[in-house]
Amino acid sequence: MDSARMLIVEDNADLCHTLAEVFRKSGHKVVTALNGAEAQRLLKTSAIDLVLLDLRLPDMLGIKVLEFAKEVDPEIMVIMMTAVANDPRPAVEAMKVGAFDYLTKPFELDEVKLVVAKALETAGLKREVSRLKQQQRGQFPETELFGDSAPMQEIKNLIKIVSDTPRTSVLIQGESGTGKELVAKTIHQWSARQDKPFVPINCGAIPENLLESELFGHEKGAFTDAKALKKGMFELADTGTVFLDEISSMRPALQPKLLRALETQIFRRIGGTADIQVDVRLVAATNRDLGEMVKLGEFREDLYYRLKVMVIVLPPLRERIEDVLPLAQLFIEKNNREFNKNITGIADDAEALLREYQWPGNVRELKNVIERGVILCQGNQLKPEHLPMELRDEKSRHAAVIAAPITATDDDASLSLEQMEKVHIQNVLNKFKGNKSRAAKALNISRSTLREKMRLYELAG
């Protein structure tokens, strides 16, 4: 990375200023903070690649800022600065939390420059690797769409029909973990575009102000950060498929531009004057009801109608219980190979538990439950004791939820599934003290899905 966005957090104003000047001169974009609160504010509002972070700040420990930074962006590079040379413990702790390196004060400026350059190089390589991996994943779904229940057969039929159309946009609707992304990849794979790029973008994961340039690209100098020309996903996906995940997160102001690009297959880069013609199919996914959002004025009606031409609704797993056991079998076979096990079947009572459970996290949850089971199972049959508590003991789970502090009412039978979900998410968030990464992990959902749900239920982190 020749030009990075840096944040320098240092309460010594002179040092802070010196460092900022040094890195501005080498072409980086630098912002500074003299305390932890300011640093957190900047981390939340500006896209930062690298942080130079003092371990001891006036209002909080640098470690807290480090944790916060990693929470906002797990890929962010953080270099700690510490004055306490004779006590390596805080620095070691910081490395554990994910700091890239640390510098002991006083340091030479050349030394800082070197560590920063190393960190940026590593970040650049990582990004390249994950881009390639993602591309590969996009090109070859590792799992085939599985399940022969009536709804799944219907869905496969629909996929065949839309795959045959050259450019029809598709909207995939379904709860978290129902397989929306897998369906999107399948559409691409079954279509004539299969050898062409499949470019996924998660609208919920990209800061609002960056999404437009991510989609359509920008010319050099289009805005302060635009140091070089950048091609957008629509250009990169030419002749292939763009997958817009969590399209409900797209701010309304950007929606007409997307609509126009879809209808004309022509767009301009930000700051550009030339029309760019492409041939792209859009597949979009959402776990919110866009129709409802239109009524609330949160999603544009014209774009909604455009997307609605072809909708694939993925029913929750609890509404296609016939798929549970075949899917469980599929995941057992996969995990047998991965963990070198030889589990040949599922005991009757374990089967019953799998079929009775409500699967709020849908196929993703089932997949994780089976993986865990395969790891725990020493014999060749999956038994109830290899399944998590919540499957074995619906009642105690229910009781725990009802006893939780934010339960809406103690008349438990009156809680809707949605309320249960809300209560459960809040409890898990409480348990992990608002740490979204850990909460999302425990809930078996992605961080962006968690954020989406927190917004939906108006939950505090």
Among 54, 71, 175, 181, binds Mg ion (CB under 5 A): 181
Angle, helices 150-164/180-190, rounded to nearest 10 degrees: 40
Among 218, 364, 422, 453, binds ligand ATP (CB under 6 A): 364
Minimum distance from residue 279 beta carbon to ligand ATP (Å): 25
Q: Which two tokens stand for residue 133?
A: 């991996």
| Only segment of 90-98, 177-185, 271-279, 321-329 that touches Mg ion (CB under 5 A) | 177-185
Residue carrying the six token digits 């510490």: 82
Told to check if 175 binds Mg ion by CB under 5 A, we report: no
Min. distance of Cβ 158 from ligand ATP in angstroms? 14
From the CB of 341, what's the least distance to Mg ion, in Å?
Answer: 28
Q: How is residue 83 written in tokens? A: 């004055």
Please tell me the distance from the alpha carbon of residue 398 to that of residue 111, in angstroms, as a whole number: 57
- Closer to ligand ATP by Cβ: residue 40 or 286: 286
Q: State residue 310 phi and psi, 5-degree precision.
A: -135, 105
Pick the closer one to ligand ATP by CB: 50 or 290.
290
Residue nearest to Mg ion according to CB distances in the complex: 181
Does residue 138 bind ligand ATP (CB under 6 A)? Answer: no
Token reading at 259: 């609509």
The one of Mg ion, ligand ATP, none whose footprint includes residue 177, by CB under 5 to 8 A per kind, is: ligand ATP
Does 104 bind ligand ATP (CB under 6 A)? Our answer is no
> Six-digit token pair at 121?
């190089």
Q: Which of 19, 446, 453, 454 binds ligand ATP (CB under 6 A)?
A: 446
Q: Give 438's contacts (C-beta < 8 A, 6+ positions apart).
A: 432
Of 145, 142, 177, give the one whose Cα is nearest residue 317.
177
**Alpha carbon separation from 394 to 356, 389, 412, 422, 440 (Å, rounded):** 10, 8, 13, 17, 21
Which partner, ligand ATP, Mg ion, none, binds residue 373 by CB below 5 to 8 Å per kind? none
Residue 287 within binding range of ligand ATP, rule CB under 6 A: yes
Smallest distance, Mg ion to C-beta of residue 200, A:
9
Residue of 233, 386, 449, 454 interacting with ligand ATP (CB under 6 A): 449
User: Residue 295 CA to chain centroid, in angstroms?
Assistant: 27
CA separation for the pair 207, 133 (Å, rounded): 22
Q: What's the min distance (Å) between Cβ of 173 and ligand ATP?
A: 10
* Binders in 174-193 for ligand ATP, by CB under 6 A: 174, 176-182
Residue 249 CB contacts under 8 Å (≥ 6 apart), including other chains = 203, 204, 448, 452
Among 65-73, 101-109, 179-187, 354-362, which window interacts with Mg ion (CB under 5 A)? 179-187
Site size toward Mg ion (CB under 5 A) is 1
Q: Does 145 bind ligand ATP (CB under 6 A)?
A: yes
**Interface segment toward Mg ion; rule CB under 5 A; list 180-188, 271-279, 363-371, 399-407:** 180-188
At 445 the three-state DSSP class reads coil
Point out which span in 46-54, 132-140, 169-177, 228-236 binds ligand ATP (CB under 6 A): 169-177
Residue 319 DSSP code: G
Q: Which is nearer to Mg ion, 23 or 198 (CB)?
A: 198
Query: What does 202 interact with, of Mg ion, ligand ATP, none (CB < 5 to 8 A by kind)?
Result: none
**What 3 state SS string does 334-380 have?**
HHHHHHCCCCCEECHHHHHHHHHCCCCCHHHHHHHHHHHHHHHCCCC
Residue 188 contact partner, candidates Mg ion, ligand ATP, none, CB within 5 to 8 A by sort of partner: none
Residue 174's H or E segment, with its range, is strand 170-174
Considering the complex, what minimum distance in angstroms separates the CB of residue 347 from Mg ion? 32
State yes or no: residue 452 binds Mg ion (CB under 5 A).
no
Question: Which contacts qualify for 87-90: CB closer than 8 Å, 24 or more apart?
Answer: 90/55, 90/61, 90/62, 90/63
Residue 15 CB, nearest approach to ligand ATP (Å): 44
Task: Tell me how far, at minimum, the Cβ of 360 lies from ligand ATP, in Å.
Answer: 12
CA terminus-to-terminus distance, the chain: 33
Q: Which of 445, 450, 451, 454 binds ligand ATP (CB under 6 A)?
A: 445
Using rule CB under 6 A, residue 36 touches ligand ATP: no
- Exposure on the CB side of residue 193, measured as CA atoms within 13 A: 28
Locate tokens 């998410």: which residue?
Answer: 425
Q: What amino acid occupies position 410? A: D
The residue among 177 and 240 lying less far from ligand ATP, judged by its C-beta, is 177
Stretch touching ligand ATP by CB under 6 A, among 87-95, 103-111, 140-148, 292-300: 140-148
| Residue 345, beta-bridge partner list | 381
173 belongs to the binding site for ligand ATP (CB under 6 A)? no
CB 270 within 8 A of CB 227: no
Binding region for Mg ion (CB under 5 A): 181
Binding region for ligand ATP (CB under 6 A): 143, 145-147, 174, 176-182, 287, 363-364, 367, 445-446, 449
